[in-house]
Amino acid sequence: MSLKLGCIADDYTGASDLANTLTRAGLRTVQTIGVPASDLALPEVDAVVVSLKSRSIEASQAVARSREADRWLRARGAEHVLFKICSTFDSTDAGNIGPVMDALAGDAGDPIVLVTPAFPETKRTVYQGNLFVGAVPLNESPLKDHPLNPMHDANLVRVLGRQSRRRIGLVDLATVVHGPEAIGHRLQELAGQDFGAAIIDAVFDADLTAIGAAALKSKVSVGASGIGLGLARALVAAGQAHSHGLTHHEDAPVGGMAACLAGSCSQATLQQIAQAETIMPVLHLDAAALVAGPDEAQRAMVWAGERIGRGPVLIASSATPDQVSALQARHGREAAGHAIEQAMADLAEGLIEVGVRRLIVAGGETSGAVVDRLRIPGFLVGPEIAAGVPVLRAIGAEAGDMLLALKSGNFGGPQFFADALGLMR
Ligand SMILES: Nc1ncnc2c1ncn2[C@@H]1O[C@H](COP(=O)(O)OP(=O)(O)OP(=O)(O)O)[C@@H](O)[C@H]1O
Ligand SMILES: O=C(O)[C@@H](O)C(=O)CO
């Protein structure tokens, strides 16, 4: 296999968002969970997205795992590696975007790295280095209340500057609109002034095309699916990948029972859960009891067992920002998050044991815990349910043929769960 593009994603839903974007842009893509074992049979592809669960772990571990993934991708021919981060730049001052970027760029010998979480299609834009979520700056968006990494600063030059050893510059929109050569000149200028990375503005979809063409000239870039789209377009335009418009998804229905698990506390997910109440039984878990011990998850399995034979069910730990803060005050942010993720993984395991083969999971960390527990090594990318959320068909899973949808917290319309079930047959 000679890869045209290697990608390392810092969470699993972000990885499937990127795999979906690359597939739509014409690259044959698979998503792997972690660095693939040598015996995992992968089809011939243009791009591999290695999914890590490294967004919220200790920075040195995130660096070690990302470097291992980078070595695997480059050994398979990838000359360019994209480090896929969240389009809302989810991170803390301790990392992990800066430390991983520093390590990958250092290994590749890149003097300067392009960085942008912009993805105009999902209303993430960057102007003068400031990230906007829809019409508001990042720090005024719901991300200010994120359970693990509340975002309080929209200026990404500053945010990345607090995480990286490199000096962070800016390539502004006025440069981007003049195309890849202008971006290249600006990067050279910045590198000459000892800048080692630059946030690059992008407001319109066409900006991504210029950014992708400029980024492809170096070995490493950092960003969300928007820059991935730009890189895919550049590869297709250069004839290095042929626009297939194909997915590897085999269409044979999987059947089996269907269930949904929600651990995301984003406003979008809370709204989607409220809508789901009109079409399926929904169990709202008692998060405090979930953290306290196994009884609450066992109660949920009994509840699901009584209903799942009649149709899909949804089990949610999701809560409002006030409820999340209260629980965190009692148990600590990480301990509460981890305990709930593990309880959701227990539930996923239980649901698969009783015959669920179509599983929808809301929340990146939650999806990571679930997919790890189910020991699924990789996915083929199927039809798109909502922007950034494809149907995934498991490859090499112990439980056999299985469809999953891993939804980033903020993604999908109000009817997301119904939309997903409609496409997962
Ligand atoms: N009721 C709750 N109280 C406190 N924490 C919770 C509660 N329910 C879920 N959590 C935790 O909140 C975190 C939610 O993160 P997750 O990544 O799953 O969703 P998200 O951040 O909305 O999604 P994404 O990362 O895709 O944007 C998890 O660690 C989860 O365990
Ligand atoms: O980029 C995004 O917003 C998503 O793919 C994601 O990473 C959310 O966890």
Residue whose CA is closest, atom 29 of ligand 1?
A: 337
CA distance 97 to 100: 6
- Mean pLDDT, residues 2-10: 96
pLDDT score of 110 more than 90: yes
Residue whose CA is closest, atom 5 of ligand 2?
A: 14
- Mean pLDDT, residues 312-334: 95
pLDDT score of 410 more than 70: yes
- Mean pLDDT, residues 58-78: 97
For the Cβ of 208 lying below 6 angstroms from any atom of ligand 1, the answer is: no
For the Cβ of 324 lying below 6 angstroms from any atom of ligand 1, the answer is: yes
Residue 419 C-alpha from the chain's centroid: 20
Residue range(s) occupied by CATH 3.40.980.20 in the chain = 257-423
Half-sphere exposure of 401 (CA within 13 A, CB side): 11
Tens-digit pLDDT profile for residues 182-212: 999 999 999 999 999 999 999 999 999 999 9
Residues with CB under 6 A from ligand 2: 11, 13-14, 17, 86-88, 224-225, 364, 388, 408
- Mean pLDDT, residues 289-305: 96
Tens-digit pLDDT profile for residues 223-234: 999 999 999 999
User: pLDDT band for position 43 (50/70/90)?
Assistant: confident
CA distance 270 to 205: 29
Strand-pair category, 197-200 with 168-171: parallel
For the Cβ of 337 lying below 6 angstroms from any atom of ligand 1, the answer is: yes
Per-residue pLDDT at 40: 78
CA of 290 to the centre of ligand 1 (A): 13
Contact 47, 3 (CB under 8 A): yes
Rounded to the nearest 10°, the torsion over CA 385, 252, 360, 13 is -60
Q: What percent of the chain has pLDDT over 90?
A: 88
Residue whose CA is closest, atom 3 of ligand 2?
A: 87
Torsion over CA: 341, 345, 351, 355 (sign): positive
Per-residue pLDDT at 78: 96
Which of 60-64, 254-258, 270-274 has the lowest average pLDDT? 254-258
- Mean pLDDT, residues 97-117: 98
Burial profile 190-208: b = 16 or more Cβ within 10 angstroms, e = fewer: bbeeebbbbbbbbeeeebb
The domain made up of 5-237 has a fold known as Rossmann fold (3.40.50)
Per-residue pLDDT at 214: 98
Per-residue pLDDT at 42: 80
User: pLDDT band for position 242 (50/70/90)?
Assistant: low
CA distance 416 to 185: 43
pTM: predicted TM-score of the whole model, two decimal places: 0.90
**CATH fit for domain 257-423, picks 1.10.1060.10, 3.30.930.10, 3.40.50.20, 3.40.980.20:** 3.40.980.20
**Mean pLDDT rounded to a whole number for the chain:** 95
CA distance 224 to 84: 5
User: pLDDT band for position 38 (50/70/90)?
Assistant: confident
- Mean pLDDT, residues 125-153: 94
Break the chain down into helix, strand, coil percent, rounded to 5.
Answer: 45, 20, 35
Structure tokens at 95: 């990392």
pLDDT score of 322 more than 80: yes
- Mean pLDDT, residues 257-280: 97
Per-residue pLDDT at 140: 96
Residue range(s) occupied by CATH 3.40.50.10840 in the chain = 5-237
User: pLDDT band for position 246 (50/70/90)?
Assistant: very low
Per-residue pLDDT at 44: 86
**Of 86, 121, 138, 143, which is best to mutate to test ligand 2, by the most ligand atoms within 8 angstroms of its C-beta?**
86
Per-residue pLDDT at 250: 62
pLDDT score of 374 more than 50: yes
